[in-house]
Chain A
Amino acid sequence: MVFSSLFFIFLFLPINLILYFSFKNRKLKNAILVLFSLIFYAWGEPIWVVLLLSSSLLDYFNGLFINKYFGKPIAKVGLYLTIIFNLGVLLTFKYSDFIVENVNSLTHFNFEKPGFLMPIGISFYSFQTISYIIDVYRGEVKAQKSFLNFLLFVSLFHQLVAGPIVRYSHIAKEIEERIFCWSDFNNGVSRFCIGLFKKVCIANIAGEICTHYLGSNLLDLTVMGGWFGILAYSIQIYFDFSGYSDMAIGLGWMFGFHYHENFKYPYISTSITDFWRRWHISLGTFFKDYVYIPLGGNKKYNFRNIFIVWGLTGLWHGASWNFIIWGLYFGVILFIEKIFFLNLLKRLPKFISHIYSLFFIIIGWAIFYFTDFNNLLFFIKLLFNLTNNELYNLEVQNMFFENIYWLGFAILLCMPIYNWFYKAINSASYFKYLVPFITIFLNLLLLTCSVIFLVGSSYNPFIYFRF
């Protein structure tokens, strides 16, 4: 199931809310959440619930084991067992085809591809459990004694299939004691509506434009079509993913969980370094805390560490070389920025750094989009008019103007206008009293628009399922 489906919004969620809030007992509340999470997960491919449960069970016992022998060498066994199991599962289900393909092309063997279907959300929850075990091993958190509570942490449907990657320490306390407050619920509702709107009214429409251009025969694509397509893809991927994170955070608030922010307006970055502080923050900090720093961070072999981390970051996004290239591409830019370019940027006018960052981000998305290397090269050449393709045609011109209001709106939404707006009306004494009305009105508007588009179109692909 996905949040942006009518079934979820108008059946699953209300039933869940009613049941959840009709009980006072916290244990019962947790059990209800776990039950609904498992249903939510099982909805797509029921069989993978078994994997989720067995992985959770193993990690739960490993946590207890490490806790018991804390500080003793034997505790390492639990740590390694969890890491090996989770990475093993990830390798098997996500990367086995990719590995076999590469082994075959490097050697003369001709192994058959296993062709596993990837369980939904595996990249997210396996990282969550790994982080939990490492934190327990490091003594940063206490192991969870109750399996139900642990399962709640792993399977909570808010973040199960598309992140953010929640750290156990962030919600450890809230699993055991949550205090309900109306302002939280209220903020959660608003946040959910915003996220839904971003996903349904921005990302999905951008997706249509993107597939129309990038998914077509590249030989027939115009240069302007190429830019329009990749711009649409940049919009799609941001609004899709951050919209989903918004919904997750909003749902969390409704039920009393406070997840950390996952996006902070990445497209207003002034450098690529800045971009990665604003894009998919939970993944960035995961790699920083569990790979980069243990490898030596910037103290030892800094260069090597940067490339390992960025190669892995790329690889996490999908089992294909273009993702690794995408990661390394950012690794290189970050390294250059680190040695001297960042200092230079600071001295330049701000709009130049914005243009610089956006340019490299958008080119990055081209690498991300094209899994086929030849297509990618051709596309990059096309963007700079190095192919024989037409510059533009009537079709792309028309398409551009037919979407121009929407496009302007989408670009505006990449900036923190919502915050500016609220700041402005809060500071104006006349409007101050209208704020609650405005909030209610906006939420209704966002929800209605989203429902209209959800009903109006069956086009609801979810690109982050790939991970």
Chain B
Amino acid sequence: MRKPIAQFFLKLNSAIFVFILITVSILFFIMPKHKISQDEKRVLTQFPEFNTADLFSGRYFKTIELYYSDNFICRNEFIEIASLIKRNKGIKNNEIQYFTYSKSSSIKKGTEKDGKRSKTTSPKDISTTESVDDIYENIKSVIVYKKKAIQIFNGSNYALSNYASLVKKYKDELGPSVSVFCMAIPIGSDFNLPSAFKKDREKIGIDHLYSVMDPSIKCVKAYEELRKHQKEYIQFNTDHHWTGRGAYYAYLAFCKTAQIKPLTPNKFEIKRINNFLGTLYYHTRSEDLKENLDYVEYFKLRNATKTTYFNENATKEYGGQLFVETAKGGSSYGVFLGRDYPLMKVKTDQKNGKKILIIKDSYGNAFSPFLCAHYEEVYIVDYRYLKSNIKNLIKKYGINNLLFAHNMYVLNSTFTISQESNFLTSNFITPTVTKPIISKTVPKKEPEKLVKDTIENKSNEN
């Protein structure tokens, strides 16, 4: 009697397994396919169009595989359960939650998408301006402390020294007719981390950068100015950017350095966009952050400006806006400039002959509009996207001020240095991209990764 029973269970075990496999396969074909994942803010992988090049490179099949996993049954529910399990695989510190950067986070794919999107769609529906994966590439850890997401800064003096020599190179090439400014922007680590952390990493970095900077460069002490106001709303709770108010204090610091009389807040029309849930929420998926929504505050200039933006070679000009006030929801930070255009040009009603070019990352979006109150023309370059010679631009437009304004992550990345050195050479060369054997990500992030490796090696030699 027992043997047949045992035999039956053997079959049952096998049958259940095969049944599940087959059922899920069939369900995949039956279930409706989705185009967009709301949670991840990205378009899901679509079934690829056939072409022989993709077939031979293996990309075609890989896309099919991605398409399959993006359209897996009950995908969102599974993701939810997975993050629930992950949250409970150890003893949680209730006060401080850690979110290690890892490739698993869905935001990885999300940012990838944003990167692609910023090239193709109209400025209106552009989400957060930080696009390519580079910013996440550098985020080491994010903690959520008292319902606020804080990035832990991590960088080396070695990289910063290299940046200082790059700025010097610009100065040498441009000569005395162009004043060169450098502004290092803290990302909130020092101001917001709880006391259990070493809290002066950013300060050490900035102090080092300014100490090795050539005396001919004017360094903007934004850090000190921001620190005075660190209790105010200068950094978002749920996003990796600073707020408009943070940018305003940096503007005060800039004015001090440039010997300009800054405008007081009452000279601006201060407006708000509510209900902003930023990138760090999607990075951490921490429920705490949802309870502490941000608002985007922007200081609207009262003087008249005319804004245009250019394509990446700076050859074609289109109409743009300094403030895209239709920005809302997760894209609210896009109110500043709309998105990261390779090059923007703002003509103002100031007739003083002063022209400035700012090389910035997305932190600069909130900052750049302030300059328009004091300069006749403001040129805004995003270091990631421009493919043109800055020296020529400066000559062509008669620009007499140059400002490097970057956050501490960007200053620490060798990708920044290689990009910005390229702006000086006459033939713009984008860093070569090596494709990994198995990678679901777009190759765009690869150069960043490579340089990251090399910098680590180098900093160890020191």
Cα(A457)–Cα(B72), bound, Å: 12
In angstroms, how far is the closest chain B Cβ from the Cβ of A442?
Answer: 10
Contact yes or no, A15 B438, CB < 8 A:
no
Q: Are B13 and A443 in contact (CB under 8 A)?
A: yes
Nearest residue, chain A, Cβ from B88: A405
| A436 and B9 contact, CB distance less than 8 A | yes
Q: Which residues of A contact B152 (CB under 8 A)?
A: 395
* B325 to A: closest C-beta gap in Å: 35
Cβ of B268 under 8 Å from chain A? no
State whether the Cβ of B100 lies closer than 8 Å to any Cβ in chain A. yes
Q: Would you call A190 and B13 a contact (CB within 8 A)? A: yes
- Which one of B19-27, B271-279, B287-295 contacts A? B19-27
CB of A352 closer than 8 Å to a CB of B: no
Q: Which of A352-406 contact B (CB under 8 A)?
A: 372, 374-375, 378, 393-395, 398-406
Q: How many residues belonging to A are interface residues under a CB distance threshold of 8 Å? A: 76
**CB of B326 closer than 8 Å to a CB of A:** no
Return chain B residues, CB-CB under 8 Å to A440: 9, 12-13, 16
Interface assignment of A182: CB less than 8 Å from any CB of chain B: yes
Pairwise interchain contact B90-A404, C-beta atoms closer than 8 A: yes
Residue from B78, B152, B196 whose CB has the most chain A CB atoms within 10 Å: B78
Per-residue B-contact encoding for A423-467, CB less than 8 Å = 1, 0 else: 000000000000011011001100101011111111101100100
Q: Which residue of B lies closest to A43 (CB)?
A: B61
Is the beta-carbon distance between B460 and A218 smaller than 8 angstroms? yes
Q: A454-B69, A456-B81, A458-B109 are in contact. Are A401 and B90 (CB under 8 A)?
A: yes
Query: B120 to nearest A CB, angstroms?
Result: 23
Q: A398-B98, A403-B89 are in contact. Are A455 and B79 (CB under 8 A)?
A: yes
Q: Are B18 and A455 touching (Cβ within 8 A)?
A: no
One of A69-77, A167-175, A209-217 contacting the partner: A209-217
Contact A186–B14 (Cβ < 8 Å): yes
Count residues on chain B whose CB falls below 8 Å from chain A CBs: 70
Min CB distance A244 to B, Å, is: 14
CA distance A14 to B79 in the complex (A): 24
Q: Report the minimum CB–CB distance from B55 to chain A (whole Å).
A: 6
Q: How far is the CB of B44 from chain A (nearest CB, A)?
A: 12
- The answer to whether residues A7 and B64 also contact, given A402-B92, A457-B104 and a CB cut-off of 8 A, is yes
Task: Return chain B residues, CB-CB under 8 Å to A6.
Answer: 68-69, 72
Least CB distance from A79 to B in Å reads: 32
Residues of B within 8 A of A106 (CB): none
A88 at the interface (CB under 8 A from B): no
**Given known contacts A14-B22, A374-B457, A395-B152, A447 and B440 CB-to-CB distance under 8 angstroms:** no
Q: Are B460 and A402 in contact (CB under 8 A)?
A: no
A9-B21, A375-B457, A395-B98 known; A436+B12 contact, CB < 8 A = yes
Q: Which residues in B have their C-beta under 8 angstroms from that of A411?
A: none
Residue in B22, B64, B65, B82 whose beta carbon sits within 8 Å of that of A456 in the complex = B82
29 contacts between A and B (CB under 8 A): A1-B61, A6-B72, A9-B21, A10-B68, A11-B68, A18-B22, A42-B61, A45-B437, A120-B437, A193-B17, A205-B89, A212-B100, A217-B155, A217-B156, A394-B197, A399-B100, A400-B90, A404-B90, A443-B17, A447-B17, A447-B20, A451-B78, A453-B85, A454-B69, A455-B79, A456-B86, A458-B104, A458-B108, A465-B438
Query: Other than the known A193-B17, A212-B100, what 13 A-B pairs have Cβ atoms closer than 8 Å?
Result: A1-B61, A10-B24, A10-B28, A11-B28, A44-B58, A45-B437, A212-B101, A398-B96, A436-B12, A443-B17, A455-B75, A456-B86, A458-B106
